[in-house]
Amino acid sequence: MKEELFVSGRDIPFIDPVLHIWHWQIPLYLFVGGLAAGLIFFASYFFLKGDENKYPVAVKIAPFLAPIVIVLGLIALVVDLRHPAYFWQLYTNFRIVSPMSWGAWTLGAIMPLSILWPFSYIYDIKDYFDGRLCKMPFKLISWVIKMIDRYWIIKWIYDWSIKLRKPIAIINLVLSIVLGVYTGILLSAFNARPLWNTSILGPLFLVSGISTGAAAIMWMAKDHNEKIAFSKIDLMLIGVELFFIIHMFMGFLASSAVQQEAAALFLGGEFTAVFWGFFVFAGLIFPAIMEIMELYGYKIPISIPAFFILFGGALFRFIMVDAGQITRFLY
């Protein structure tokens, strides 16, 4: 650790000399937000394209994970709040220049839709879990189906959720992209944190989130063609991600001194090994090698590249949130 003597009249714990108010909750939330955006994006896109039966897991099954992970992320956010009981005040206004406002409203809209979507495919999800080692999901879904038969209001919602699939898919397609971009813009709006204050963070987090969504789908897929299709999509996304990462650093190095110092944290500084070794190599390049081998006909258990992509996606957000709080203008 570098020792630093700091003489100042200011007394702002957790902010001075280093911002340290965001712990595990925020990166976890950004990760699950990206993952949910990816799952919802693929479901809506392939539904609208008419590939419902070509990619059944992507359209019908995997989206059930989205509301679950969003709820987990929201729980993490509430844990992070100093005054959890006031969270609803985010919904009392809408500020077009505030990414947090965009995020709150997007989540508010996507949450019910992301529940309705898998609800309309509940029988397919039941079939998917039939005969699995873990009986819990199957029992839970069977119970929900029983409720559909028993109460007319639930049956009514179910019937409408099927009829409304197309408009839901159109809205979800837009909202999922907003959600994915928002997870990055949320950070880049902090103009006092040089590492975050780059416009490339929005598209980078979007691509990374969609890539984790593709990884989750290929892990869950039963059909070989679907696995291969999502493996190819993922490979392309990894390529785009690497392109963005390289350009992010090129941008930093061509920028002002504070941003060059922010980049130095990753180019010889304390985050070098974990960023390049664990995220770029283990979380992007290694799974990419496995996926390329799979495309050439080698037998690869798909869970290995899928796990490393999900791991890399989560780690990337933890590193960016951690490192970003260290970078500052105070020199």
Partner 1 sequence: MEDKSKKYMNPYLAGVILGFIIMAAFFFSGEGIGGSGAFKDVVKTTVTSVAPEYSVNSHYFKSAAESEKSPIKTWLVFEILGVLMGAAISGAFAGRLTLKVEHSPKITSKTRIIFAILGGMLFGIGSQLGRGCTSGAGLSGMAVMSVSGFLAVGVIFGSGYLFAWFFKKLWI
Residue of 233, 300, 319, 326 interacting with partner 1 (CB under 8 A)? 300
155, 149 in Cβ contact below 8 A? yes
Widest pairwise Cα distance in the chain? 70
311, 282 in Cβ contact below 8 A? yes
- Does 264 sit near partner 1 (CB under 8 A)? no
- Does 256 sit near partner 1 (CB under 8 A)? no
For residues 37 and 309, which CB has a smaller minimum distance to partner 1 in the complex?
Answer: 309
- In the chain the first and final C-alpha atoms are separated, in Å, by 18
Quote the CA–CA distance of 45 and 58 in Å, as a whole number.
10
Stretch that binds partner 1, among 210-218, 223-231, 291-299, 318-326 (CB under 8 A): 291-299
- Does 222 sit near partner 1 (CB under 8 A)? no
- Does 290 sit near partner 1 (CB under 8 A)? yes
- Each residue 1-40 as x (binds partner 1 by CB under 8 A) or -, in order, gives x---------------------------------------
Element (H, E) at 270: none
Residue of 100, 140, 170, 293 interacting with partner 1 (CB under 8 A)? 293
Residue with tokens 């500052």: 328
Residue of 45, 105, 286, 311 interacting with partner 1 (CB under 8 A)? 286
For residues 254 and 273, which CB has a smaller minimum distance to partner 1 in the complex?
Answer: 273
Find the shortest distance in angstroms from Cβ 18 to partner 1. Answer: 17
Quote the CA–CA distance of 153 and 319 in Å, as a whole number.
46
For residues 2 and 150, which CB has a smaller minimum distance to partner 1 in the complex?
Answer: 2
Cα-based distances in Å from 242 to 137, 173, 210, 283: 37, 24, 14, 11
Give the CA angle between residues 245, 249, 250 to the nearest 5°.
Answer: 110
For residues 235 and 290, which CB has a smaller minimum distance to partner 1 in the complex?
Answer: 290
Count, residues in the chain: 331
Find the shortest distance in angstroms from Cβ 190 to partner 1. Answer: 27
Residue of 12, 153, 297, 331 interacting with partner 1 (CB under 8 A)? 297
Whether the bond into 63 is cis, omega within 30 of 0: no
230, 163 in Cβ contact below 8 A? no
The Cβ of residue 217 has, within 10 Å, a number of other Cβ atoms equal to 29
Find the shortest distance in angstroms from Cβ 173 to partner 1. Answer: 35
177 three-state secondary structure: helix
Residue of 21, 81, 250, 289 interacting with partner 1 (CB under 8 A)? 289
- Does 284 sit near partner 1 (CB under 8 A)? no
- Does 268 sit near partner 1 (CB under 8 A)? no
For 240, the token pair is 């785009």
- Does 298 sit near partner 1 (CB under 8 A)? yes
For residues 257 and 293, which CB has a smaller minimum distance to partner 1 in the complex?
Answer: 293
Binding residues for partner 1 (CB under 8 A):
1, 273, 277-278, 282, 286, 289-290, 293, 297-301, 303-304
